[in-house]
């Protein structure tokens, strides 16, 4: 079985929910340390309007600085519209992430577009990014339910997936924006996508709003998801959903994988160090467990 890939989204999904803006130099420190820890991808930020989301106003600058450096992880950035794509292409983002919400309400709150319009535009942007030589990941947001609309029909979610696949876009993320996912649902969706296209590379982006985050992540991995998106300390949450809550903590998932002999190449001590610094900066405890308790292996060796 191929190793599970870790996509660290804390610098984007984690920080976007914070009211305080993190200084650029401090962001760079956290991103560099995460990128050198052994995780596979680090999401640096999103290309949105700085006046609408000040926490992401320095995304272009971050990429310009990081592009001059060498790190062990692939760097990704989130794009919402054509202007954002132009900015991402201009600063050389290697992996461009785009998405469509399966919830009409969430789609309009998040992007100002309905789901049908957003799907067409996102596919066109993804193909443009591929033509420019960039790696692309497309997502279905609110894939497992919506805080505003409740349950989202499975066929609606799979309809967006089919549109992606028909356009030749096979790196697909299922995003649990509202945290409504449960393990059996996640397992079924991942298997259905792989049934539609066995070569698809499925990513799971799970929020822990109602306490089922880690269980749903393991269900995704068991069903064949290749990549899991996590955030340092479990920080984060979409500010445009009804009940915002954090992600599955990166260091907790890595600790769980390492307990079974997987991803021993990732420096867990380094991940814990970053999370401790993030918690110290914000002056509060984060949802994660391992950064507070310490890894089991570290305690045995002490």
pLDDT in tens, 170-192: 999 999 988 999 999 999 999 99
- Helix, strand counts (H, E) of the chain: 12, 8
Q: How far apart are CA 75 and CA 8, in angstroms?
A: 10
Q: How confident is the model at residue 108 (pLDDT cuts 50, 70, 90)?
A: confident
The domain in which residue 190 lies consists of 5-301
Number of domains in the chain: 1
Give the residue from 173, 186, 14 showing the smallest Cα distance to 96: 173
The whole-angstrom separation of Cα 102 and Cα 298 is 42
97 has catalytic annotation: no
Nearest to 14 by CA among 61, 50, 46, 41: 46
Q: Which of 51, 53, 50, 103 is nearest to 241 (CA)?
A: 103
Per-residue model confidence as pLDDT tens digits over 188-241:
999 999 999 999 999 999 999 899 999 999 999 999 999 999 999 999 865 555
Task: Report whether 232 contacts 261 (CB < 8 A).
Answer: no
Q: What confidence tens digit (pLDDT) does each residue in 242-282 have?
A: 455 689 999 999 999 999 999 999 999 999 999 999 999 99
Query: What's the pLDDT score for residue 65?
Result: 98
Task: Pick the catalytic residue from 97, 146, 238, 289.
Answer: 238
- pTM for the whole thing? 0.94
State the pLDDT confidence band at 301, using cuts at 50, 70 and 90: very low
Q: So what's the pLDDT on residue 239?
A: 55
pLDDT category at 300 given cuts 50, 70, 90 is very low
User: In angstroms, what CA-CA distances link 35 with 75, 130, 252?
Assistant: 8, 23, 17
CATH number at 182 reads 3.20.20.70
Kindly report the average pLDDT of the chain as a whole number.
93
Q: Please state whether beta strands 227-230 and 201-206 pair in parallel, antiparallel, or not at all (unpaired).
A: parallel
Residue 140 pLDDT > 60: yes
Closest CA to 236 of 295, 282, 292, 186: 282
pLDDT over threshold 50, residue 299: no
């Amino acid at each position: 079985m191929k190793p599970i890939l870790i996509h660290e989204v804390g610098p984007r999904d984690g920080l976007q929910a914070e009211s305080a803006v993190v200084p650029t130099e401090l962001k760079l420190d956290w991103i560099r340390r995460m990128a050198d820890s052994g995780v596979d991808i680090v999401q640096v930020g999103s290309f949105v309007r700085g006046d609408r989301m000040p926490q992401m106003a320095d995304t272009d600058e971050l990429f310009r600085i990081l592009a001059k450096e060498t790190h062990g992880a692939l760097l990704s950035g989130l794009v919402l519209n054509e202007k954002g794509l132009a900015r991402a292409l201009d600063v050389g983002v290697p992996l461009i992430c785009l998405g469509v919400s399966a919830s009409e309400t969430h789609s309009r709150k998040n992007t100002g577009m309905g789901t049908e319009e957003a799907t067409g535009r996102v596919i066109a942007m993804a193909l443009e990014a591929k033509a420019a030589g960039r790696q692309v990941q497309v997502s279905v947001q609110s894939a497992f339910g919506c805080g505003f609309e409740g349950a989202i029909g499975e066929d609606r979610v799979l309809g967006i997936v089919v549109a992606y696949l028909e356009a030749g876009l096979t790196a697909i993320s299922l995003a649990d924006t509202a945290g409504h996912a449960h393990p059996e649902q996640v397992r079924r969706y991942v298997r259905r996508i792989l049934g539609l296209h066995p070569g698809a590379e499925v990513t799971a982006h799970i929020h822990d709003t109602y306490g089922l985050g880690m269980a749903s992540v393991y269900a995704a991995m068991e069903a064949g998801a290749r990549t899991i998106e996590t955030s340092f300390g479990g920080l984060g949450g979409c500010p445009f959903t009804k009940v915002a809550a954090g992600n599955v903590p990166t260091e907790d998932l890595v600790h769980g994988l390492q307990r079974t002999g997987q991803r021993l190449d990732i420096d867990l001590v380094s991940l814990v160090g970053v999370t401790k610094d993030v918690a110290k900066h914000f002056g509060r405890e984060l949802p994660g467990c391992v950064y507070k308790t310490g890894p089991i292996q570290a305690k045995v060796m002490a």
